[in-house]
Structures are given as C-alpha cells and as structure tokens.
Chain A
Amino acid sequence: MNSKSKLLNNIGNFVIFIGPSLIAFSCVLLIPLIYGVYLTFTNYSPIKLTYEFVGFSNFQAVFTDKEFWQQFVKTLGYVFYSTIFCNVIAFLLAYLLTSNIKARGFLRAGFFTPNLIGGIVLGYIWKFIFANVFTKVGDALGYQPLMTSFLTHPDRAIIAMIIVTVWQYAGYLMIIYIAGFVGIPQEVQEASEIDGATGFKKLCSITIPLMVPSFIICFFIVISRGFMTYDLNLALTNGQPYGSTRLAAMHIYQKAFQANEYGIGQAEAIIFFATVAIVAVSQVLLTKKFEVEA
C-alpha cells in the first residue's frame, strides 16, 4: 500500500468510526455551548423579531439580581447538606452491610430501589408523604412541627428537598462504598487487628483513609447532581412556598422559558456552570490530598 492510499484509508476509517459520534456530540453539545456564550451578549428573545448586541449588560443584570443570588446561595446550602447527609447515611449503610450480616443481597437491593425512579415520580410520592402522612403522624404524636406539612413552610420546604435527595441517593452511594469496603486488602485488615485496632479505631485509622477514592466519587456524584436538580424540585415544591425553594436550575429555566429572557438566562447558566465546575474540581483536589496507598 502506498502512502497516499494509506492516508485515504485512514481518513475513511476516521469518518466511519468517529464521524457519527462526533457529529452528534458537536450538534447537541459543542455548538450549543459556543452559541450559548454568544447568546449572553445579545438580548435575544423568542418573542421578538430582532435582537442586538448588548455587551456585558446581561451579566450586569445577573450580578444585580438579588433574587438570583438568594436562590444561588440556597442551592449551595441544599447541595452542601445533601452531600453531607447522603454520604453519612450511605457510609453507615455500607458499613452495616459489609459486616457479618445475613440477607445482604436483599438489603442492598432494597436500599438501592429509590434510585431507579425519576425525580418527577419521586417528587410526587413525597408530596403525599409530607402533606398527608407526616401530618397524620404529627397529629397522633401531638408533635407540633409535624402537624403542618413541611412543604407549606418557607424554611422547612428546603429540608423536605434534602430529605428526599438523601432517600434517593443514599442507596446509590451505599453500593459504591460497599465496593470500597470490599476493596480493602485482607492483609491490611488482619495486620491492623493483630496490632490491636478494632471497631471504631480500625474504622478511623485504617478503613476511612483507604477509602478516600470512594469518598471522592460519592461526593462528586451528589455535588454535580445536586446542582442540576430540577425534576425533583419541580414535582415536590415547584419553588413554593413564596419562591423559597426555587433552586438555581429552576430559576434559569423560568428566566429563559417563562420570562423569555434568553440572554440573561444563559448568562446565569454560564455563571452556574462555572460554579459547578469550580466546586466539583476543588472537591476532588481537596479530597485527593487525603489519599493513601494500602
């Protein structure tokens, strides 16, 4: 084969093997992302016929939009608490399930089940639980805070969001932690026991340091998904009461598709993207520092 036909052959193969992937990826992700940056400098709106360049005024509008930043901070809080509670409960479950316990497979499958269901359906399930079940329990126990639905209370509605998020992701993270527990070499465990480390001491000085990779993954999963939460937010609270649970993703959606402000909405989305990237990457870098070799 001479070099020219080899080149042609290579190009042909490139088109066949990578072409379909690359076209789909570019058309739905790459081009929109670039076009999105362009949009932030215009006052484009689907209900207007023309649009013009507006420079940085969209970003200016976002930076002075108090409501957006309130909801932004709320989102950070939601992500923070969800990450903590999801991981604590998932770790506890994984710890219990890897200890000498019967019916492990059954238990694991049970805890994982909420993950199979989409945010819309989960939101509706819990809407009933908060509105009709918890209130009944509150009445029966005579416990004041439970008597009215969490969802009608501006401060507690966000707690409701966190509870459902924990319920949804704890089982998912649990199976990643189980894999982490199982992956700790047998020799290390035995050696530590001979050295007198048992129970809680062993957990803190042997198990947890060796499971840092699992922590990185699990934190990353909740952080990145937490920021993007939309379905659950929509079905469970729809931002109510009084907009107290409108998370950043929902704010962007409403800015774009209800207020028809594509430019401002996209400027918010870019700021949002930058935040997600910074938080997720710094989490990984920070946690990596604790990594040790077995």
Chain B
Amino acid sequence: MKEKKNVFKFAKYVLIYILLILFMMPFYLMVINSFKTTQQFVNNPFSLPKLEKVGFGNYISAFNKMNFLNAIRNSTIITLISVLLILLTASMAAYFLVRHKWKINKIIFATLIASMIVPFQAIMIPLVSIYGRLNLMNSKWILIFMYMGFGQGFAIFIFHGFIKNIPLEMEESALIDGCSKIQSFFQIVFPLLKPVLVTVLILDVLWIWNDYLLPSLVLLSPIERTLPLSTYSFFTTYSVDYAPLMAGIVLTIIPVLIVYLFSQKYIIEGVVQGAIK
C-alpha cells in the first residue's frame, strides 16, 4: 500500500514538472535563440548559443530599431497615470454610490455593472469616428482619458463590494467633528481600501501595459508608440531577419518579469481577488 502511494506521488511530480517544462519552453527558446544569428537559429533552434559570435549584437540592434527607451517611457506614463486616475475616481464614485442610496445612484451603478460585458469591438468604430472627427486622436492624454473611462466599471464594482462592509460609525463621528465629506473619505475610508486598491492596481496595470488594440487606434505617430505597438511595427518592418526579433521579444518581456519576480505574491493574490468577487 505504501509503495503504491509512493509510486503515485512520484508520477505526480514527474507529470507536473513535465508540464512546467512544456510551459517554460517557449521562454527558454526565445532567450537562447536571441543570442544567435538567423542562420544558426534556423539550423538548430535547440543548440546553446556560442556567445563570442553574436553576443549582444541582436539586442543592440533591436533596442535601437524599436526605439525601446521611448516606447517604455510612453508605456510607463500611460499605464501609471491611467491606473492612478482609475483608482482615485472609481474609489470616490464607489464610496458615494454606497453611502447614498438615491435612485439616480442605483441607475448609475447598474449601468456601470452592465457595461462590463460590452466587448471593446462594439465601441471601437464609433469611438474612432467620434474622436477622429473632433481631431482628438494621436495624444497620450486622450488615451489615458479613455482608459480612465473603460476602467470605471470593474473598479467601481470591486470598490463597491468592499466599501459596503465598512461600518459607518467612524465616518459619522468624523462628520460630527466638522470634517467635510472629502476629508472623511480620504482620511478614514481611503486608507482602509488598501487591499482592494492593490487588486485593482495589479489587474489594470496588466491590462493597460499589454493592451494593443486601443493604442493602435489612438496613437498614430511613431513617437507616441507604446511597447506593444513598437513590438508590432518592429516585426512587420523587419520580418526577414529573425534573430534581432527574438532579442526584441526578450527585451519586451524583461521589465514585466522583473516586476513579477518581486511582487509575484501580490500579483497572484490580486488576480484571485479580482476574479472571485
């Protein structure tokens, strides 16, 4: 009996590590092939690179052609400002919607929740049509404003669920002490929101950082490109020479992996919380 159990346990380990290797294989292949010439890569994608031959050559060429620093700067600005605006405005709105059960507030809340099921494709054409005709395209700030709008539904939903369970007493005593509504929100409620703020922050950062379609419609000039846009244009322009493209992919992934390495626990926890609510 015990032996049978051990065999079973061993099989389980074998199975899970085989799966893990399969899952990780694409990353591993990317990295080793990014140090090869296209010829070496096509001949044998599994061999280890001979560093003295290519070295970081592919990386330097990808870095320059992708205008990497500019792209990562655009991505960072857009992601950070959008997410901060979503966190601030959505938490305030959710708070007000919870604390004032007016009819209009109920309608607003229901509309926000219902909006979460609308696929982007249903908005895309009128969005381009309206903002294009108003001549508002091709600006980071318009894109940030759009993310702020698209982020409201989910963020308010999460904050609403959390704020519902915060007791009123503390705010009431603060209001009696002469605090305004704004003060009592920022001094009492906002700090309590920390766990859900982290959840929304993580999910929205992953969404905006990796988003391609919306920025591709809004940001038309190369100088405004975010990282996914510059990866795409790099590929469509230089698709003959494979090796630098590998390096380009690795470059795009590295910043995300570094952040993941340090905040892995929060990210996974955030995803779970965001999904089960």
Residues of chain A having any CB pair with chain B under 8 Å: 10, 13-14, 16-18, 20-22, 24-33, 35-36, 39, 44, 46, 93, 96-97, 99-101, 105, 107-121, 124-126, 128-129, 132-133, 136, 167, 171-172, 175-176, 178-179, 213-214, 217, 221, 224, 227-228, 230-231, 234-235, 248-249, 252-253, 256-257, 262, 265-266, 269-270, 272-273, 276-277, 280-281
Contact = CB atoms under 8 A, between A and B. Distances in A.
Contacts, number: 243
Given A36-B123, A36-B126, A228-B121, 16 more contacts: A16-B181, A21-B152, A24-B145, A25-B153, A26-B149, A36-B122, A93-B19, A118-B212, A121-B210, A126-B26, A167-B23, A231-B228, A234-B232, A262-B129, A272-B122, A280-B117
Given A24-B149, A175-B272, A262-B125, A124 B115 contact: no
B12 A113 contact: no
Counting chain A CB atoms within 10 Å of each CB, the highest count among B13, B119, B146 belongs to B119
Contacts of A129: 26, 29
B152 A24 contact: yes
A114 B234 CA distance: 21
A124 B235 contact: yes
Interface of B: 9, 12-13, 15-16, 19-20, 23-24, 26-27, 29-30, 33, 41-42, 44-46, 89-90, 92-93, 95-97, 100, 105, 108, 111-112, 115, 117-130, 132, 145-146, 148-150, 152-153, 156, 181-182, 185, 206, 209-213, 217, 228, 231-232, 235, 242, 245-246, 249, 252-253, 256-257, 260, 264-265, 267-268, 271-272, 275-276
Binding site secondary structure of chain B: helix
A35 B212 contact: no
B69 to A, nearest CB: 18
A76 to B, nearest CB: 14
Contact of A179 (B125, B130, B252, B272): B272
B20 A107 contact: yes
Nearest to B248: A124
Given A118-B209, A231-B213, A171 B23 contact: yes
